[in-house]
Amino acid sequence: MADKKSHESKPVAWGYEGDIGPCNWHKYFPKAGGKRQSPIDIDTSATQYDGSFKPLRIHYDSHMCSSLTNNGHTFCMSVNSDQCNLSGGPLEDKYRLLQFHCHWGSDDTKGSEHTVDGHQYAAELHLVHWNTDKFKSADEAIEKNQGIAVLTAFIKAGKEHRGWNHVLSHFKDIKKVQGTSTVNEDFNPKCLLPENQTDYWTYEGSLTTPPCHESVRFIIFKEVVEVSSEQLAQFRSLCVCSSRKRDTGEDEHLVDNFRPIQPLNGRVVKASFQS
């Protein structure tokens, strides 16, 4: 999951390879060395069913004002609407949709940040929400416990997904880093989620990108969303800031933008369903 601050203004000095890769993030962003980091592997044999969860309430406005940006780490669809809210499930408060983005691999066999029983999917969607009941701004919420809730959907290669075409149609305008496209047409990001929004896993974790604040409640849907291999290839068409670009002038494609699995450190992953 990407910090909103990392989606604004200048690219920050971190990445997914070499000296600025995940193994060194803790040197520059101390929170990355914490005990409640994300992503994790979900060991389904060790999850605990919790029958006390209320139904998830996902209410999104199709008329939201949005902008799509390539920040050099992922694409980010920023949302400007106070009518896009999340509550219920394991959440005690109301959360407002801030943005959504994805993580993906260099091919269809890898790309998700979380894994299930060691299995990695082709991509992972994060819809990032901030707690409007407890905090005055998203910037404040990102740094605080219970500040952020992330709806997470795994993506695998399969049939074409019509909902994703609304997002991908703007990728021609954001291929270069800092490219931005305004999204004027009606679009409800709920269409990107799986049909079954009742079965999910949940745990307390962190932003999966620097500064890796431990402020996140993840809600990870069990049902996997299918998109076509051609649609996944469009994710990989985006470009990234890189040493290759500086040295040769050639663009490098944005791939493998996922953080390695982090230790669970005694945390409990709860399930809304019984195995």
In terms of Cβ atoms closer than 10 Å to its own Cβ (0-12, 13-18, 19+), residue 70 is: buried
Closest CA to 68 of 81, 60, 77: 77
Token representation of residue 62: 């199709």
What three-state secondary structure class fits 231? helix
Give the DSSP per-residue string, 164-214.
Answer: HHHHHTTGGGSSSTT-EEEE-S---GGGGS-S--S-EEEEEE--SSTT--S
Residues classed as catalytic: 73
User: How far apart are the C-alpha atoms of 24 and 3, rounded to whole Å?
Assistant: 18
Spatial neighbors of 215 by CB under 8 A, at least 6 apart, are 141, 142, 143, 144, 145, 146, 147, 148, 206, 207
Please tell me what DSSP assigns to residue 119: B
CA quadruple 190, 129, 264, 200: dihedral sign: negative
Spatial neighbors of 268 by CB under 8 A, at least 6 apart, are 48, 203
